[in-house]
Amino acid sequence: MKNGMLRRVVILASLIFSTWVVAAPMREDVSYQKDVSPILHDYCLSCHELNGKGFDKSGLDMRTYQSLMKGTQFGTIINPGSSLTSILIQVIEGRVHPAIKMPLGMNGGMAKDKIELLKKWVDQGAKNN
């Protein structure tokens, strides 16, 4: 009787574990070059490059990883490992004053899937990969 019960427990545990492993989402690293840079290009660079309105007002140049990580004349905008406390994400999500919600003048804001990708990149450490 004990062997039969033990066998059932082992089988049940194996089924639960294998279901969990299959259902668990794969952790894919977000690439700055492949994923983040194109988003910044499409949504941000028209203002945040040298001589752009956003650059003139804040000093934020988003053309390169290094300039993005440097931030604005007021300080950094990315806190690697924390999308919650990163100014970039706060501004894009509209968690700041409406006058500085970005991208400026874009009705509806940035696409939600793009925001989630940026958040994931920041949460993964905002690597230059």
pLDDT exceeds cutoff 80 at 23: no
Q: What is the share, in percent, of the chain residues with pLDDT greater than 70? A: 79
The model carries a pTM of: 0.78
Model pLDDT for residues 89-122, shown as the tens digit of each residue: 999 999 999 888 999 888 788 999 999 999 999 9
> By three-state DSSP, how is residue 75 classified?
strand
What mean pLDDT do residues 66-91 have? 98
Q: Give the Å distances, CA to CA, from 13 to 21, 25, 51, 83.
A: 12, 20, 61, 36
Across the range 46-70, mean pLDDT stands at: 97
Lookup: tokens for 89: 């994400």
CA dist., res. 123 & res. 103, Å (int) = 21
- Most distant CA atoms of the chain, gap in Å: 80
User: What pLDDT score was predicted for residue 107?
Assistant: 79
